Amino acid sequence: MVKRRAVSRHDKQLQPETLPLLYQTLVPLSPEGQGSLGFQADRDFSFAARANAIPLTADEFPMALKDYPIVFSAGAKSTPLALVGMQQGRNDHVTADGSWRTGTYIPAYLRRYPFALVRESDTAERNILCADLSSTLFSTTAAPDRMMFEDGKSSKLLTGILEFCNRYEVALHRTRLMVEDAQKHDLIGPSTVSISRGGKTLRVEGFCVVSEERLRDLPDDVLASFARRGVLNIFAAHQMSLSNFSTFGEVLA
């Protein structure tokens, strides 16, 4: 079981009702509340050890396609996912010591953790930088250059984290628009894959892919629009990534 830091009752009362995947809390950061907290330099991905699918932004498809099958979740609000494990509750890319498998792409969703931007309210435009304070990546004994606040203000470290989270939100917005376009034209549909290794067979299902046939049948003006916006390249990266299913089941042997 992944160990977590204790979080105060007050902080728990501040968190939103719905938390993103892998987050246990989401608390607004402030020098008054977290002025003594630092952030460790060495990443530990044990928090993702039981997640076999990690959200991706469309910007990441070119980097992720060499390592993972990129699929889409089912449902009205489909999300691109990197399949990082062939069985529920198991991430094949997190090693026993909590590190990520060497030489493979680390999704930005995991690099952003334990931070995230949260809308101040349903009607507000402002986002607030929050964090999962249960993460063991936080420490009260961190080096001075790893502190999140300095003299009551955001440190250089925290400013960089905020910039990363802002870039992630921009990429996430582009991704949502892409998925909405794909769903509008009924391009995303369910799929299954059967993987055989060492006399064992596993059926992987519950995911969706972009239909190449439906994509080819789109009107020329729609295809032209997709091409101009780079969407066709993203779909191509998605299709190329599916070849990773051919080696996805090697751990079965």
75-113: per-residue pLDDT in tens? 989 999 999 998 889 999 999 999 999 999 999 999 999
Work out the mean pLDDT of the chain and round it to a whole number.
89
CA distances from 152 to 42, 67, 160, 214 (A): 25, 42, 17, 55
Instruction: Read off the pTM.
Output: 0.90
Q: How confident is the model at residue 1 (pLDDT cuts 50, 70, 90)?
A: very low
Q: How confident is the model at residue 16 (pLDDT cuts 50, 70, 90)?
A: low
Is pLDDT larger for residue 130 or for residue 121? 130
Q: Decide: helix, strand or coil at residue 151.
A: coil
Going by DSSP bridges, is the β-strand pair 38-39/149-150 parallel, antiparallel, or unpaired? unpaired
Q: Is it the case that residue 3 has pLDDT exceeding 70?
A: no
Determine which of 183-187, 225-229, 245-249 has the lowest per-residue pLDDT on average.
245-249
Provide the H-helix boundaries in 73-219: 108-112, 156-184, 212-216
| pLDDT in the model for residue 253 | 38
Which pair of tokens denotes residue 184? 């509008």
Q: How confident is the model at residue 18 (pLDDT cuts 50, 70, 90)?
A: confident
Q: Is it the case that residue 12 has pLDDT exceeding 70?
A: no
What is the C-alpha separation between 54 and 75, in angstroms, rounded? 16
| pLDDT in the model for residue 42 | 86
Provide the H-helix boundaries in the chain: 9-14, 31-34, 61-64, 108-112, 156-184, 212-216, 220-228, 231-241, 245-248
Which pair of tokens denotes residue 203? 């059926």
